[in-house]
Structures are given as structure tokens and as C-alpha cells.
Amino acid sequence: MDQAGANLFKGLGDAALSLGDFLSRLAGGGRPH
């Protein structure tokens, strides 16, 4: 995989983690970590 592809994949992974964290906080009533 070339560097652009690696960067894109990393960006998508970071976005997915951020979204999952956001949703888990909503589901958990907004409690902090």
C-alpha cells in the first residue's frame, strides 16, 4: 500500500474510533471516561 493509501486508511480508522466513542458516550448517558 502506498503512503497516500496508508494515510487515508489511518484517517478513516481515526474517524471510526471517534464516532464509536461519541456513540458510546451518548448510549452511556454522556458520562466521562
Q: Is the pLDDT of residue 14 over 60?
A: yes
21/12 Cα distance (integer angstroms): 14
Mean pLDDT of all residues belonging to the chain: 88
Q: Is the pLDDT of residue 31 over 90?
A: no
User: Using an 8 Å Cβ cutoff, are 7 and 15 in contact?
Assistant: no
Residue 29 dihedral angles phi and psi, to the nearest 5°:
80, 20
The pLDDT tens digits of the residues spanning 17-30 come to: 999 999 998 998 76
What pLDDT is attached to residue 29? 76
For the segment 1-24, the average pLDDT, to the nearest whole number, is 94
